[in-house]
Structure 1
Amino acid sequence: MGCSPWTRRPGTPTRSRSPKYAGVPRRAPIRLHPREPSLITHSSGTTGIPKLAVHCAHTMWNRLVPQQALGRATRGESAALHMSFVHSRFYHLLGVLLHFGSPLLLLLDPDPAHAGPLLAKYRPGIVETHPNTFVLWEDLAEAPGMPLANVRAYGSTFDAIHPRTVQRLLGASRRRDPRLVQLYGQSETGPIAFGWYTRRGADRVQGRRVGTGIPGFTRIRVVDERGRTCPPGKPGAIEARTRGRILTYLGAADQYAQQVDRGWWRMGDMGYRDRWGALYLLDREVDQHATVDSNLEVEDELLSRVAELREVIIVHGPSLEPVPVVCTRGDEPLDAGRWRLATSDLPPLAEPVQCRFEDLPRTSTWKIKRLEISRLLAEGELPTLSTARAHG
């Protein structure tokens, strides 16, 4: 933590030119057009090989401005970050924090045993990481030194966050009115929806609600298989129109073009909107099961009902049956009786497959690669602590 290396303290002399370059004429900076490529980052790669996203100054500015508006309430607070340094979110967040002069703590190892003492020592007012890392950091809520006691705002992007995690994180803060801000979007679009949770409303968190569009910057619609806008409450494919959309994929322009329909970007997610315009996320299109309305909703319920679960992912089994892949804290055996009770009123599921969380294939943003798990499960190559029956 400390001052940014790009900020010169008042009274500090400017650095003189090296004698080696004495007499060499200065070269004028190259000014790119706002719509010329200026940054390339990679996507998360949840459904396959990460794609290279090409950004320009115009799209990046249209992502940064609304995020700076959201960050104004916590300006100057110290911030702790753990995320991929080659993902676009990292650079937009830096644009917010450096703009407001926030000292930074960058965490490389998310293990609570390593991150906890650092958070306890520096006591950041802002904490942002991946949703799956926040699940891991639930253990810090009551850890020695109270690592999260000074947090005024949590930032959650990349994926929806579980209600249980929201409740534990907000409960760990001793600030007067802590908040968890959630941004929903993709590498290709930046945030297209936002929302937040407070401690008073933590027990009413709806895990599938990812927020509303950003006025003046993004528009959201849900469409059916024929491209018609769905009425409130009816599920469909989520599409977004945003000023922050990337220019193209590097070396994959055709693949990029397939995602765009008259200015609307296909997010690849299924969801619905309520009558007030709030967006609810159900599943990735490729992850849907015929017998389960929403894998994500079932996973939220299971995490809330079974305290020892660290993670649960519902994937396609060898016969396309929904198989829950579960990870417990400390890799303790899953209580079969508690599991049966927790799933008694849920859609039929196969017997759970228990794994170590560290053995699950993940992206650089800690998203679980569901399709890869399904492949490993079908080929018998998934490292497990227990084995599921084929059809439960």
Structure 2
Amino acid sequence: MKPLSRPPHRPLDLGTLFDDLEERGTSTAVRLSRPLDVAPREGIALDVPRVAALVRQLSGRLALAGVGPGDRVAIAKRNHWDYVLLSSAAARLGAVPASLSAHLEPGTLEELLKRLAPALLVTDTALLGAAREEGRDPGVHARRTLVVDGPAEGALSMDDLDGAAVPPSRRPHPDAPLAIMHTSGTTGTPKLVVHSTRTLMRRLAGFEAHRWPVLGSRPDDTVVSSYSYAHGRALAWTASVLRLAPRTLSVITSADWAEAAPALELDRPTVLEAQPSTLRSWQRHTRGGSTPFDRVRLFVSTFDALHPSTVRDYLNATGHRWPLWTQGWGQSETGPLTFRFLTRRSLERDQGTSPTTRDLGRPVPGRTRLRAVHPETLLPVPAGTPGLLFCRTDALCLGYVGEEGRWRSKLVGQWWSTGDVGSISRTGAVRLVDREVDALTEGGCLEIEDVVDERLPEALECVVLGVREGDPVPVVATDSGELDLAAWRNAVADQPAMADPVVLTWDELPRTGTGKVRRGELRDLLGLRPGAPGTGRWT
């Protein structure tokens, strides 16, 4: 009897991702903290064949809405994993999905849609209604608009496109534009980053899709994520995790504990990846007796480094004997550039007068190179000396939509400016100081923020804003919106001189879709003079 042949191990492609996984027999259970906005009747429990069928149906709907090869499809809606499914459906047609966070201000969303000029805008009633109330109808910048959760004037609904025929799939050239995502926009209008199949799926997702010791998902793992699925990370994460076929993939769409807790209790994670603001929000639930984090063997922190106290609480919350915390540093344009691993023991060893998680580890050998240069001469600086950080990576994006000159201005030969200031040791270890645009004349705002978090437990968040003239202005968020000034001064007595803190509540801090503080908007909120000590040339 002839043995059954195994399905071919195809390279990762976004448009056919779920078809290929179904053909391979991937048996991962998919669980959602709430039903998909594009398919609410499917409930919260899915499997790979059902997701593949949904993507095929969505591709038919997009085609019936007029989307064809080469067109751009803008997606701006409430946060959910269906950003990934819509992106896959668009790519299946040969179109280029562009994911835009619903957290964008209407004016910013309008500017990005103007740059994109999409054939179709996929949105929801809440975002569309809010933008129209401000006189900024996002639909005017697209040929057509599709609303996923109900009817809206001048727009298509999902029911209008029901029963659409499923078109054949397309596999784009590896170096053609595949997907567009925007940067965080902490200092201004986000950039629209263009990635290809080679940079996003082969270099980034493909690297993670190996079953690396400890880091790779195992067949018995429950892998849980919670972050902005409008971010390009969601595409790479979905592809790499499902290629490794863990027992369960669980998606939590909100930091709201009322939604997150039932999902975490139902599928207690062994691998947990979440954005820093979400982990910070959940931190209070790591303490006490049994917690939903008691099975985690691997924590993954993306988008930003977390304060040492937060890392410590999560590592202490799990009953795993040797839990590991993976901290990555990178950008939407490049993907991860360095990795660092933290353990209970390493945090105890590093705990001192100035604790920090700004030591970012080292580049992955053979994949990424880094160097620190003088910000004016662009010549390399000595080991251990802070400088502007440049990288070389095969995962570098193709460009910025509508800002090609800006993208090219950040290239110096084959080296790309990250816009970050940091030092590189003789052994290649990277220590982050600041964003160049936020750089202080003395010390680093990031390390000061770590120190404040460690010494002032009532501080939920600290943001240090540099000013061109005078001392930096610290902004501290507390539960009550109040802070003991004497305790503050004692905590920062050995730090660089700063103005007295401005005290706000957590909710008063303006944030991006990935939870980062919008420093530019915070400056405006506080009435600070525009500008900071940095040049802003490399943002």
Q: Which interval holds the TM-score relative to the shorter structure?
A: 0.7 to 0.9
Check 1:368–1:3 CA distance in 2 against 1; reply closer, same or farther (3 A cut).
closer
1:309-388 equivalences under 5 Å are: 309-316=459-466, 319-328=469-478, 330-331=479-480, 333-378=482-527
1:1-392 equivalences under 5 Å are: 2-3=29-30, 7-8=48-49, 29-60=169-200, 61-69=202-210, 70=212, 72-76=215-219, 77-102=221-246, 103-142=248-287, 145-205=290-350, 206-224=356-374, 225-290=376-441, 292-316=442-466, 319-328=469-478, 330-331=479-480, 333-378=482-527
- Separation of aligned partners in 2, 1:279 and 1:318: 27
- Separation of aligned partners in 1, 2:471 and 2:495: 14
Check 1:204–1:65 CA distance in 2 against 1; reply closer, same or farther (3 A cut).
farther
Check 1:229–1:115 CA distance in 2 against 1; reply closer, same or farther (3 A cut).
same
- 1:310 deviation in Å? 0.8
TM-score by length of 2: 0.64
Check 1:40–1:74 CA distance in 2 against 1; reply closer, same or farther (3 A cut).
same
- 1:27 deviation in Å? 6.9
Deviates more, 1:342-351 or 1:114-123: 114-123
The alignment partner of 2:328 has SS state of strand
- 1:50 deviation in Å? 1.5
- Separation of aligned partners in 1, 2:422 and 2:48: 44
- Separation of aligned partners in 1, 2:233 and 2:166: 34
Deviates more, 1:204-213 or 1:154-163: 204-213
Check 1:3–1:81 CA distance in 2 against 1; reply closer, same or farther (3 A cut).
closer
Size of the alignment, in residue pairs?
Answer: 366
- Separation of aligned partners in 2, 1:252 and 1:73: 37
Check 1:48–1:218 CA distance in 2 against 1; reply closer, same or farther (3 A cut).
same
- Separation of aligned partners in 2, 1:363 and 1:142: 28
- Separation of aligned partners in 2, 1:163 and 1:3: 32
- Runs of 4+ aligned residues of structure 1 deviating over 6 Å after TM superposition are none
The alignment partner of 1:86 has SS state of coil
- 1:297 deviation in Å? 0.6
Amino acid at match of 2:523: S
- 1:143 deviation in Å? 5.3
- Separation of aligned partners in 2, 1:159 and 1:214: 18
Stretches of structure 1 lacking an aligned partner (at least 5 in a row): 10-14, 16-24, 381-392
Amino acid at match of 2:516: K
Residues 239-277 of structure 1 show CA distances to partners (whole Å, capped at 9, x for unaligned) of 110011111111211111111111111001100011210
The alignment partner of 1:200 has SS state of helix
Paired-residue identity, %? 36
Check 1:294–1:118 CA distance in 2 against 1; reply closer, same or farther (3 A cut).
same
- 1:137 deviation in Å? 2.0
Stretches of structure 2 lacking an aligned partner (at least 5 in a row): 1-27, 32-45, 51-55, 57-164, 351-355, 530-539
Aligned 8 A contact 2:482 2:504 in 1: no
Residues 334-379 of structure 1 show CA distances to partners (whole Å, capped at 9, x for unaligned) of 2222212111111111111111111111111111111221222126
- 1:320 deviation in Å? 4.7
Residues 177-198 of structure 1 show CA distances to partners (whole Å, capped at 9, x for unaligned) of 1111111100000011111111
Aligned 8 A contact 1:116 1:140 in 2: no
Deviates more, 1:199-208 or 1:221-230: 199-208
- Separation of aligned partners in 2, 1:123 and 1:379: 45
Aligned 8 A contact 1:237 1:266 in 2: yes
Deviates more, 1:295-304 or 1:138-147: 138-147
TM-score by length of 1: 0.87
Aligned 8 A contact 2:326 2:342 in 1: yes
- Separation of aligned partners in 1, 2:435 and 2:347: 25
Amino acid at match of 1:75: R
Q: CA RMSD in A?
A: 2.5
- 1:145 deviation in Å? 4.3
Check 1:379–1:277 CA distance in 2 against 1; reply closer, same or farther (3 A cut).
closer
- 1:32 deviation in Å? 1.8
Amino acid at match of 1:91: L
- 1:150 deviation in Å? 1.0
Deviates more, 1:35-44 or 1:182-191: 35-44
The alignment partner of 2:209 has SS state of helix
